[in-house]
């Protein structure tokens, strides 16, 4: 149960009362180095968090104290680190709050009423839906071969490791098409929490459009600092080890082109062109072995399930997700696909042999030139492609492929191949303009791993990685809302 949840109004009153007792040096700090983090923290509404979190507290038992203060503490911790004003250690952060009444006041506490370190981990556990297990116990021993298997090394540079189960995307497609749920969504509470305290407020402030939203998705390797071989305990059998991070596994980092031990962070995001800022929508951690083609389908299902107000019109993905189940799912949901083509896929058998095409499905004329999109014939259902020279065909082209002064016209059907013949033709400027928004996910990955230091945190287990990443995601939204506020005043 919750003994007392400090409302935002009481928090602001407490902070104003505390400011009266600050000395001159503390006032200077508040209006210089702490100004941005303070203003961003004020934009975070803990009352919205309470509305979501209340069902996860029992009506009986020992009351939980300082819950909004713990939440603000996490946010301030990451905001200060991004400004170079804090170290990446929750233990050191708790000690620092005890000796800095200004920082304690910013989270809504006095230095003698701060939450203990254990309360931070209790708060994390409330937002994790996995059943109780002894897998993470300090005395738990697992086989020495627990984390020895690595995925096959891919052929070629910058390639991702192949999925161990090639048909799994089709199995997931069948589940989603039939309306079935995908189990083991242990981070579901965190995703819904993120939706209520970060995504919805950003939609209300106009940062995320309620309609015609372009969403992009991508995965990135997260290297854990845990030892993949585990630790041998004195007196334990030789074939048993203690693993500090039993959730982690071996994967292939396509950017560094080497094996790594950890997780895959897959996230869906959007781009605000007016503010030129990127906003995460959904964050999830998966096994390092899992291919992005599988990660996307699961993440997309969770986006539909947990974030009903997010109305997606376009989906931008890289070539790792270039597969027919993904196209069919998006088409079924009325979402236009903007997916980079995978070079490993050959010419579809459904395209007539009389038509010569480029690797992206664009017809080639008899001079082997790429033809130009020329609209869509709704009556016949054909995509029209014209001569690249157009009206200048007769004067510029030596090939007499047609008597028409506009050159030859080729027709293709989208049904021939939904990968190649997308709703917006691949070779057009309109396609490239929308697809360019896909880089938003790459920039967000960089912010999470480097700017906010997730890669440098010595944390273990999927639960803690998921929670810390959610806190970082909230900070990224606060960054955008603060930027919006500053530009509105300027």
With beta carbons less than 8 A apart as the criterion, state whether 167 and 270 touch: no
pLDDT digits 0-9 by tens, 334-355: 999 999 998 777 778 888 888 8
Instruction: Show the DSSP H helices in 321-453 as ranges.
Output: 324-332, 393-396, 429-435, 439-446
Residue 113: φ, ψ to 5°: -130, 25
- High-pLDDT (> 90) share of the chain, %: 74
Q: Which secondary structure element, helix H or strand E, spans residue 280, and what is its range?
A: strand 277-287
Mean pLDDT of 189-198: 98
Read off the pLDDT of each residue in 300-329 and give the average, rounded to a whole number: 96
Mean pLDDT of the 18-33 span:
95
- Condensed to tens digits (0 to 9), the pLDDT of residues 287-313 reads 999 999 999 999 999 999 999 999 999
Quick one: pLDDT band at residue 158, thresholds 50, 70, 90?
confident
The string of pLDDT tens digits covering residues 83-102 is 999 999 999 999 999 999 99
Residue 156 has a pLDDT of 80
Q: What is the mean pLDDT of residues 2-25?
A: 93
Q: Are 77 and 93 in contact (CB under 8 A)?
A: yes
Q: What is the pLDDT of residues 240-264, one digit of tens each?
A: 999 999 999 999 999 999 999 999 9
Domain 142-343+436-489 coded CATH 3.40.50.300: no
Crossing angle of helices 67-82 and 35-42, rounded to 10°: 140
Delimit the domains of the chain by residue range. 8-126, 142-343+436-489, 346-418
Contact assessment for residue 214 and residue 316, using Cβ atoms and an 8 Å cutoff: yes
Task: Among 29-38, 52-61, 423-432, name the most confident range.
Answer: 29-38
State mean pLDDT over 93-112.
Answer: 97
Mean pLDDT of 211-237: 94
């Amino acid at each position: 149960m919750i003994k007392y949840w400090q409302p935002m109004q009481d928090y602001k009153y407490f902070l104003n009362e505390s400011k009266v007792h600050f000395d001159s040096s503390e006032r200077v700090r508040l209006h210089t180095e702490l100004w941005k983090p303070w203003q961003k923290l004020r934009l975070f509404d803990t009352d919205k968090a309470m509305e979501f979190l209340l069902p996860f507290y029992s009506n009986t038992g020992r009351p939980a104290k300082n819950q909004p203060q713990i939440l603000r503490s996490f946010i301030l911790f990451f905001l200060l680190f991004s400004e170079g004003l804090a170290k990446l250690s929750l233990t050191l952060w708790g000690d620092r709050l005890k000796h800095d009444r200004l920082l304690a006041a910013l989270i809504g506490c006095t230095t003698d009423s701060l939450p203990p370190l254990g309360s931070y981990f209790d708060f994390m556990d409330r937002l994790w839906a996995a059943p109780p297990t002894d897998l993470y116990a300090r005395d738990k021993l697992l086989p020495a071969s627990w984390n020895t298997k690595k995925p096959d090394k891919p052929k070629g540079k910058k390639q991702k490791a192949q999925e161990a189960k090639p048909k799994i995307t089709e199995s997931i497609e069948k589940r989603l098409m039939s309306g079935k749920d995908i189990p083991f969504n242990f981070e579901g509470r965190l995703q819904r929490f993120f939706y209520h305290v970060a995504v919805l407020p950003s939609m209300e402030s106009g940062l995320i459009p309620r309609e015609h939203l372009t969403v992009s998705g991508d995965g990135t390797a997260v290297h854990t600092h845990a030892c993949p071989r585990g630790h041998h305990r004195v007196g334990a059998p030789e074939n048993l080890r203690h693993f500090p991070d039993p959730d982690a596994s071996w994967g292939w980092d396509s950017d560094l082109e080497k094996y790594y031990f950890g997780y895959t962070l897959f996230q869906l995001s959007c781009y605000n062109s007016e503010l030129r800022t990127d906003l995460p929508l959904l964050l999830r951690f998966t096994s390092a072995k899992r291919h992005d083609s599988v990660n996307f389908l699961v993440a997309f299902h969770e986006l539909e399930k947990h974030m009903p107000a997010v109305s997606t019109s376009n989906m931008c993905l890289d070539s790792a997700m270039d597969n027919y189940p993904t196209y069919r799912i998006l088409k079924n949901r009325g979402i236009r696909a903007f997916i980079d083509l995978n070079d490993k896929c050959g010419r579809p058998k459904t395209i007539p042999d009389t038509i010569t095409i480029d690797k992206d499905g664009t017809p080639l004329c008899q001079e082997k030139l790429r033809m130009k999109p020329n609209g869509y014939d709704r009556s016949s259902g054909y995509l029209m492609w014209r001569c690249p020279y157009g009206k200048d065909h007769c004067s510029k082209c030596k090939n007499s492929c047609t008597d028409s002064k506009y050159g030859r016209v080729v027709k293709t059907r989208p049904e021939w191949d939904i990968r190649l013949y997308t709703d917006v033709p691949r070779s057009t400027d309109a396609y490239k303009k929308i697809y360019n928004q896909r880089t938003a996910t790459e920039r967000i990955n960089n912010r999470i791993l480097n700017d906010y230091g997730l890669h440098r945190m010595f944390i273990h287990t999927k639960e803690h990685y998921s929670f810390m990443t959610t806190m970082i995601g909230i900070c990224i939204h606060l960054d955008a809302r603060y930027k919006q506020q500053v530009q509105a005043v300027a």
